[in-house]
């Protein structure tokens, strides 16, 4: 991993319509200049959840380039070289992932899926807000890691620890 250059991060989920999208937009905002975030899914929904777009826009995060896409795009020739791959849902953590060129660091940062929450619009929006806050907390911990000073094993331990950060932290 060349710390001098922009580090590429891929957030994976099954549908790539909510959690991984929220993570992509958040890291691209707070990690500007150091990280380039992407998201993808093992079984992409084909569209970004409208409540995810609404929440990101309310937080003044860009949404124009967000789209639901397959993780196969990032295993194909010509795809960005990945430095980190984080699964943000339980389904993707147990699936057989593609082989990522360059051996990126991986970790599981599972967050409950707000897209599966049923009920009133208020209940559903609260679920999206909760997922957004959980991901934002983990991403802030990540961007503040002294990546250049950590050896690979220590960095892996830190990434795993971030994934175990309490969801209500």
**Number of residues assigned to the chain:** 169
pLDDT tens string 92-101:
445 566 667 7
Say yes or no to pLDDT of 167 above 80: no
Distance, CA of 8 to CA of 11 (rounded, Å): 10
pLDDT tens string 27-54:
999 998 899 999 999 889 999 999 999 9
Handedness of CA 29, 113, 53, 63 (dihedral sign): positive
pLDDT tens string 142-159:
999 999 899 999 999 999
* Annotated domain spans of the chain: 7-163
Does residue 114 contact residue 123 with C-beta atoms inside 8 Å?
no
Half-sphere exposure of 123 (CA within 13 A, CB side): 5
Select the CATH number that applies to the domain covering 7-163 from these four: 3.30.70.870, 3.40.50.2300, 2.40.440.10, 3.40.1110.10.
Answer: 3.40.50.2300
**3-state secondary structure at position 71:** helix
Average pLDDT over residues 88-108: 73
Percentage of residues of the chain with pLDDT beyond 90? 78
Average pLDDT over residues 5-29: 95
**3-state secondary structure at position 35:** strand
Does residue 15 contact residue 51 with C-beta atoms inside 8 Å?
no
Average pLDDT over residues 82-97: 74
Distance, CA of 131 to CA of 6 (rounded, Å): 26
Q: Mean of the per-residue pLDDT values for the chain?
A: 90
Does residue 51 contact residue 77 with C-beta atoms inside 8 Å?
no
DSSP per-residue string spanning 91-151: HHHHS-PPPPTT--EEEE-----GGG--S-HHHHHHHHHHHHHHHHHHHHHHHTS-GGGS-
In the sheet with 84-87, reading across from the earlier edge strand, the strands are 35-41, 7-13, 84-87, 105-108
Average pLDDT over residues 104-117: 92
Q: With bands split at pLDDT 50, 70 and 90, how would you rate the model's confidence at 3?
A: very low
| Distance from the Cα of residue 150 to its chain's centroid | 22
């Amino acid at each position: 991993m060349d710390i001098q250059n922009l580090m590429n991060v891929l957030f994976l989920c099954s549908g790539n319509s909510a959690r991984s999208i929220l993570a992509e937009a958040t890291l691209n905002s707070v990690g500007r200049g150091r990280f380039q975030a992407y998201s993808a899914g093992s079984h992409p929904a084909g569209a970004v959840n409208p409540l995810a777009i609404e929440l990101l826009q309310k937080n003044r995060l860009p949404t124009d380039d967000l789209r639901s896409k397959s993780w196969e795009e990032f295993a194909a020739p010509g795809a960005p070289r990945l430095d980190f791959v984080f699964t943000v849902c339980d389904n993707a953590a147990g699936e057989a992932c593609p082989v990522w060129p360059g051996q990126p660091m991986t970790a599981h940062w599972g967050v409950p899926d707000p897209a599966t929450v049923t009920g009133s619009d208020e209940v559903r929006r609260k679920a999206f807000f909760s997922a957004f806050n959980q991901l934002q907390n983990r991403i802030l911990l990540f961007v503040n890691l002294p990546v250049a000073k950590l050896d690979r094993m220590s960095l892996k331990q830190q990434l795993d620890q971030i994934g175990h950060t309490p969801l209500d932290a």
